[in-house]
Chain A
Amino acid sequence: MALTLKQQLSSPGGILKFLVKYNTIFIFIVLVIFSALISDVFLTSVNLSNLLKQVSGLGIISIGMLIVILTGGIDLSVGSMVALLAVIFALLVNMVILPVAILLTIIIGFSLGSVSGYLVAYQKMAPFVATLALMTIARGLGFIYSKGSPITFKTPGGEFMSNFANNSTLGIPNIAIVFFIIVIMTMVMLRYNVFGRLIIAIGSNEEASRLSGIKVNKYKFLVYAISGALAATAAIIVASRTNLGSPNMGMAWELDAIAAVVIGGASLNGGRGTAINTLMGVLILGLIGNILNLLNVPSYPQQVVKGVIIIFAVLLQRFESK
């Protein structure tokens, strides 16, 4: 049945086929056109650069989420990790020189991710459970280290980061450039690097991977560690934008990240998903928020619209399958 429907859909010719195959990009373009038509402000450079700044942090953790999901896992800890690591970064910026603060934050992120990775890969814990535990641990630690209130940057290093995060190069916000570089690196990794190929293989059939002599545990461990390092990168960016680290940052971001990955056509069973489509997923989520804000829609209806878009995007992917 699915096949005949698909055949019907693609029979009029290439256009429809293309739309079905690249539905995420299609939805994105439609949203852009729609937004441009109904709001004069939308296409202004101020608004667009704001939009990019808003999505960059979430975008970076979504890329981490993507590589975890590609192996068939999930990482619920990323939102809390952003909070904890933003607090840690703010503390470090006020204590040590900037490069050391950045490096240490990323190392700590990698290490925290490694804990999830260890539990999942070597202790065979369900990813949902392991990262759920890490999620509450990280959020709790964030409140402990910050004593419950935001920590502001007080050093020249902090000032430098704040400037960096709020400025643009060649019209593109610096933090968006960081995000795009991560997307491009991930794209290249997934297509042309053994690491990327193997995590996709593991996600599509773990047992076959094991029997092909692949170090399944090592790669499963690594994806969580990398997700942690990316959460640290996102934390540095969001903290720098606001000039402070707060334990309340990144609330429910793990859910938005999963949504972005899913809108981008990835399969939660693993083995399917691309960086470019996750980028589209992130932009689509950001666009919806942005345009609804421009139209003065309050935040509660926004959530409803977001949910509807997720359903719509996933239903569209049905036709693609294969």
Chain B
Amino acid sequence: MKTSESEYRVEMTGISKCFGVVKVLENVNIKVKPGEIHALLGENGAGKSTLIKILSGVHPKDSGKIVLNGKEINPKNPHEGQVLGISVVYQELSLVNDLSVAENIYLHKLGSRKFWMNWKKITQDAQELIDSLGFKIDASAKVRSLSIVQKQVVEIAKALSEDTKVLVLDEPTTVFDPTDIKKLFENLFKLKEKGISIIYISHHLDEIFKIADSVTVLRDGVDTGSMAVSDTNKDGVIRLMIGRELKDLFPVRDVKIGEVPILEVKNLTAKNTLVHDVSFSVRPGEVLGIAGLGGSGRTETAKLIFGADKKKSGTLILNGKEIKTKSPVDAAGHQIGFVSEDRKEEGVFLPLSIRRNISVTNFDSISSKLGFINVDNEYKKVLGLIEKLNIKTPNSEINVKNLSGGNQQKVALAKWLSIDSKVIFIDEPTRGVDVGAKIEIYKLINEVAKKGVGVVVISSDMPEIMGISDRILVMHKGTFYGELQKDQFSEENILRYSIGEPLKQ
């Protein structure tokens, strides 16, 4: 198409990719000039990470073309990508905990060329590299001993240790505080001046408008266009991201909430986590939101009640009777459900079929006393749920790993929705889920509440938690700091309580 002199450093054109039966990218285009910071936006599950993984050689593309410096490239693995000058800092950290900072930074060089490594020089080089970024980290320290922010900095240093032409940052600032973010941005501007192309993935639109030159928005695997940042604004970008107005996302709450609490939690304190003195109640039909910063103890609270973590003290009262939940088995026995935020590790059985996934919590209703499963009943139940939850699949025997994030989440939900739960804890109900599935999941939560179930939703997604909850409790440092009624819902109020500040009068 072009000769060797192109105005773009990297061009990805017509990129498509399927995982099994699920299409994750369809004809996506992105072009980045040298010295440009290009923001890649889109909701969770829109295909951003997949696009980056194709660029860096983690996944092969099904079709399309990648051109770097005017030459078509086809990196087959991350190492090839790196050699070509494409470095990626992933959201999930990929450092080796038991090696030093310097060893981690130069890990990709181990085993190449030389037999002996000059550790002194490597440590020195690493130290210089980190110092140049403006952070204080000892290059000879073990990575295990670093804070999560420092680990992220090491990741960035690692990406820069090669002759990098294209640097990709996948949500680098989620763990950073404002001063660290400022430092990071200064570094990015320096790199930009050196002519490095930067692809920057973030959910924080403020950041994008502060540092990016241009932006590409992905929605459900399709790019909805690229533009200069100066030609658009926040509202415009949001509309491109979700494809509709925000208020259409959430169902109308018209559930009659019961008077008597279905579950009361009194002075719950954990043995091994920071959760302490947690007290709250949830009523039948109510959707109770739990907000708070990451690490404030929200997930730990749910796991504590569910019996997955050990309790030190406190009481649980279900329907007026005190119960003990020493393990998830007890909790499930008392008809308390828990949908984990970590869908792949704790929620679903990826290698098993949809049917086998859903049946796991359901055996009481579909098997005889001796444990023999009535297969007709099983199919009836599972197919009914697939239809009700609108899980997009050709049949019930598809393995869950071949479904999209949204459909996987529906399977995880189906496990608990199909039994008569009294209380369900749902941790991050729509993380990594596309917009269409989001709306369906919200509707589902609404319907479950309608049946008189007490639903507790933990979420970091502000619009989400405000959109679906009747009441929000905000956690701060392991306990509830404040409670917000519907008329008090605002991002600012949630944030204030999250950081331990009182509301503005």
Contacts and interface: CB of A to CB of B under 8 A. Distances in A.
Interface string B269-310: 000000000000000000000000000000000000010100
Given A205-B350, A209-B360, A194 B371 contact: yes
A195 B363 CA distance: 10
Interface in A283-322: 322
A255 interface: no
Given A211-B308, A211-B340, A213-B333, A205 B349 contact: yes
A194 B332 contact: no
Interface string A190-223: 0011110110110011011111111100000000
Contacts of A209: 349, 360
A193 B356 CA distance: 12
Q: Which has the most chain B C-beta neighbours within 10 Å: A192, A194, A271?
A: A194
B372 A193 contact: yes
Given A209-B360, A212-B328, A213-B332, A194 B340 contact: no
Contact of B360 (A192, A198, A215, A272): A198
Nearest to A272: B351
A1 interface: yes
B399 A212 contact: no
B123 interface: no
Contacts of B349: 201, 204-205, 208-209, 271
A197 B356 contact: yes
Contacts of A322: 20, 399, 402
Contacts of A215: 329
Nearest to B332: A213
Contact of A200 (B348, B352, B375): B352
A195 B352 contact: no
Contact of B356 (A1, A201, A214): A201
B356 A208 contact: no
A208 B416 CA distance: 13
B196 to A, nearest CB: 30
Given A197-B356, A198-B360, A214 B346 contact: no
B373 A193 contact: yes
Interface string B367-394: 1001111010000000000000000000
A35 B346 CA distance: 48
Nearest to B402: A322
Given A201-B349, A205-B349, A207-B346, A212 B332 contact: yes
B91 interface: no
A214 B349 CA distance: 13
Nearest to B374: A192
A212 B372 contact: no
Nearest to B334: A213
A209 B345 CA distance: 10
B345 A207 contact: yes
B33 interface: no
A213 B329 contact: yes
B200 interface: no
A211 B371 contact: no
A214 B371 contact: no
A200 B351 CA distance: 10
Given A205-B349, A208-B346, A197 B373 contact: yes
A200 B399 contact: no
A209 B360 CA distance: 8
A214 B306 contact: no
Interface string B334-359: 00001010000111111110001001
B316 to A, nearest CB: 16
Given A197-B356, A205-B345, A322-B399, A211 B373 contact: no
Contacts of B367: 193-194
A271 B352 contact: yes
B329 A193 contact: no
Contact of B350 (A1, A197, A204, A213): A204
Contact of A204 (B332, B351, B363, B372): B351
Nearest to B331: A213
A201 B348 CA distance: 10
A271 B329 CA distance: 21
Nearest to B367: A194
A213 B308 CA distance: 9
B415 interface: yes
A198 B329 CA distance: 14
A209 to B, nearest CB: 7
A195 B367 CA distance: 11
Contacts of B315: none
B333 A205 contact: no
A96 B370 CA distance: 33
Nearest to A4: B60
A111 to B, nearest CB: 23
Nearest to B419: A213
B361 interface: yes
B352 A211 contact: no
B345 A201 contact: no
B371 A212 contact: no
Contact of B361 (A192, A207, A213): A213
A201 B360 contact: yes
A233 to B, nearest CB: 21
B372 A208 contact: no
Q: Which has the most chain B C-beta neighbours within 10 Å: A192, A200, A207, A212?
A: A212
Interface string B413-444: 00100000000000000000000000000000
A204 B346 CA distance: 11
B329 A214 contact: yes
Contact of A193 (B20, B332, B352, B371): B371
Contacts of B360: 197-198, 201, 209, 212, 214
A197 B328 contact: no
A101 to B, nearest CB: 28
Interface in A268-286: 271-272
A201 B338 contact: no
A208 B329 contact: no
A219 B285 CA distance: 36
A28 B347 CA distance: 38
B385 to A, nearest CB: 15
A210 B303 CA distance: 12
A194 B363 contact: yes
21 contacts: A193-B370, A193-B373, A194-B367, A194-B372, A195-B371, A197-B356, A197-B360, A200-B352, A201-B349, A201-B356, A204-B351, A208-B348, A209-B360, A211-B306, A211-B308, A211-B328, A211-B338, A211-B340, A212-B361, A212-B415, A214-B328
Interface of B: 20, 60, 306, 308, 328-329, 331-333, 338, 340, 345-352, 356, 359-361, 363, 367, 370-373, 375, 399, 402, 415
User: Which 3 pairs from chain A and chain B are nearest by CB?
Assistant: A213-B332, A194-B371, A194-B363
